[in-house]
Amino acid sequence: MADVKQLIGDFYRVAAGRDFQRDVNFRVLSISPGGTTTTFNEDDLVYARAAALPSRAITNVEARYMGLNFNLPGTATYPGSQGYQLTFFNDANNNIRQKFEDWTRDTFNDANSTGNYFTPSQSSTIDLVQLDKQMNRVAQYQLVGVSIREVGAINYDFGNGTGQIVSFPVSLAYHYFVRKQVS
């Protein structure tokens, strides 16, 4: 028998006290592309439909000694940082998608093979917030060194469409993230 009781009553007591984070209690607060001319404001970010809180991992460094593997902590990595994805509802006039398309053209313009494909600065960020049920900030994360990778397709279906709102994915890369202090 386990030394720690984890009965239904214990689960209920703890769950009632702490509650649960819900999949709708998350927002994209801002996107600041840094040196590019593309700007996103609070009106644009209303259309952010889905995102994920990014992950952070510590690499494993194996040290072998006398036939034993000792697993030591190494450096931090950010799995998925090369293709962080956000999904946006597409507004009727295609304004938000065009901002992302403009960002890709500013990064690299294939018409003249020029662009701002430099190392993204610390001012190129995305701010994400977790919210409680009263829409107060619980946590805030800032992705640093953000740059555009892909503006995904929009799918239309004339034959079987039901008038659903269309959305499109955007893939971005970032260097690392920090958790910001919530007051």
Nearest Cα to 171, choosing from 104, 85, 98?
85
pLDDT above 70 coverage of the chain, percent? 97
Residue of 39 and 122 predicted with greater confidence: 122
pLDDT above 90 coverage of the chain, percent? 54
Instruction: Evaluate if residue 1 carries a pLDDT over 70.
Output: no
List the single range of 141-145, 155-159, 173-177 with lowest mean pLDDT.
155-159
Instruction: Evaluate if residue 37 carries a pLDDT over 70.
Output: no
pLDDT score recorded for residue 46: 86
Considering the chain, what is the average pLDDT of its residues?
A: 90
Q: Is 117 helix (H, G, I), strand (E, B) or coil?
A: coil
Give the number of other CB atoms < 10 A from CB of residue 164.
7
How would residue 149 be classed by pLDDT, with cut points 50, 70 and 90?
A: very high
Give the tens place of pLDDT for each residue, 77-90: 999 999 999 999 99
Find the mean pLDDT for residues 5-32: 85
Give the tens place of pLDDT for each residue, 84-107: 999 999 999 999 999 999 999 998
Nearest Cα to 73, choosing from 89, 62, 86, 88?
62
d(CA 33, CA 122): 10
Alpha helices per DSSP H over 47-139: 95-107
pLDDT score recorded for residue 83: 96
Amino acid sitting at position 40:
F
List the single range of 47-51, 148-152, 165-169 with lowest mean pLDDT.
47-51
Q: pTM of the full predicted structure?
A: 0.85
How would residue 2 be classed by pLDDT, with cut points 50, 70 and 90?
A: low
Which two tokens mark 154? 């929009």
Residue of 2 and 44 predicted with greater confidence: 44
d(CA 126, CA 140): 10
Give the tens place of pLDDT for each residue, 38-65: 778 888 888 899 999 999 999 999 999 9
